[in-house]
């Protein structure tokens, strides 16, 4: 870990974090706190459910922090048309990043045309709008071959990031999955590690494996620990 600590500033680490609040419950204060922390630490973005997009846009006005909407979340089991509508609606309401869960069951049934179509449509909607798009694999349910297949489809479609997990599956990000995804997509596309990243050591291990974004609700804890570690 020492090599990463030596070459990564606190600001750079914070700028790799997607600060999340994706629970199905919570108060207005939870979202206000999320945005206030994101503004203070200059995280890359806040990751929220689409219903909170307009609120977060207002709370982050004048800040460089981006607003990210989770689409087809967390199961990915809506139709391609529904995901496309959700994406357009979130962007219309101010979202500047989109994280979409693939249809895992379609993938496992061998219906790659469905997976390909939903990814291509996301890119087609996001790219003209200048919106960053990420594909969530939900790696805990997939074989290595399936992970590689989705990463290849995503790369060919022109996504900005491939992402490990929703955080709602049976497991989250692993170093092995991040390394696999990085190997398949190469250096041009981002890899986002998400799910179960709650401390500095885990975050740095993901970065060392090839992650360029970290999705976590523990961003403040991670950055504060990093500040202490590099003193």
Condensed to tens digits (0 to 9), the pLDDT of residues 31-44 reads 999 999 999 999 99
Q: pLDDT (tens digit, 9 = 90+) per residue, 2-20?
A: 567 778 999 999 999 999 9
* Cis peptide preceding 74, ω within 30 of 0: yes
Q: pLDDT (tens digit, 9 = 90+) per residue, 108-121?
A: 999 999 999 999 99
Q: Residue 211: CB partners within 8 Å, gap ≥ 6?
A: 16, 173, 178, 182, 191, 192, 193
Catalytic residue flag (residue 99): yes
pLDDT at 3: 65
pLDDT, mean of residues 180-193: 98
Write down the pTM of the prediction.
0.96
Active-site choice (116, 134, 147, 163): 163
Catalytic residue flag (residue 192): yes
Q: pLDDT (tens digit, 9 = 90+) per residue, 136-170?
A: 999 999 999 999 999 999 999 999 999 999 999 99
pLDDT at 2: 57
Kindly report the backbone phi and psi dihedral angles of residue 124, in degrees, each rounded to the nearest multiple of 5, phi listed first: -65, -30
Q: Enumerate helices (H) and strands (E) in the chain, giving the number of each.
A: 11, 8
Closest alpha carbon to 133 in 189, 61, 171: 189
Catalytic residue flag (residue 18): no
pLDDT band at 175 (very low <50, low <70, confident <90, very high): very high
Active-site choice (99, 116, 134, 147): 99
Task: Report the mean per-residue pLDDT for the chain.
Answer: 97
Active-site choice (117, 134, 147, 192): 192
pLDDT exceeds cutoff 90 at 125: yes
pLDDT exceeds cutoff 70 at 123: yes
Q: pLDDT (tens digit, 9 = 90+) per residue, 47-98?
A: 999 999 999 999 999 999 999 999 999 999 999 999 999 999 999 999 999 9
């Amino acid at each position: 870990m020492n090599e990463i600590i030596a070459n990564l500033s606190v600001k750079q680490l914070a700028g790799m974090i997607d600060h999340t609040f994706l629970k199905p419950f919570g108060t207005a204060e939870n979202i206000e706190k999320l945005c206030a922390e994101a503004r203070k630490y200059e995280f890359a973005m806040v990751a929220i459910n689409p219903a909170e997009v307009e609120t977060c846009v207002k709370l982050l006005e004048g800040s460089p922090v981006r607003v990210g909407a989770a689409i087809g979340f967390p199961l990915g089991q809506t139709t391609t048309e529904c995901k496309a509508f959700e994406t357009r609606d979130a962007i219309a309401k101010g979202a500047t990043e989109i994280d979409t869960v693939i249809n895992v069951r379609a993938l496992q049934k061998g219906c790659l045309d469905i997976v390909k179509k939903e990814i291509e449509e996301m890119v087609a909607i996001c790219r003209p709008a200048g919106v960053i798009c990420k594909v969530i694999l939900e790696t805990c349910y997939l074989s290595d071959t399936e992970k590689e297949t989705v990463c290849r489809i995503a790369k060919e479609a022109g996504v900005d990031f491939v992402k490990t997990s929703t955080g709602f599956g049976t497991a989250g990000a692993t170093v092995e999955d991040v390394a696999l995804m990085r190997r398949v997509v190469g250096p041009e596309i981002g890899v986002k590690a998400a799910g179960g990243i709650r401390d500095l050591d885990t975050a740095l291990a993901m970065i060392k494996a090839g992650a360029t974004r970290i999705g976590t609700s523990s961003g403040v804890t991670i950055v504060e620990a990093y500040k202490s570690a590099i003193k």
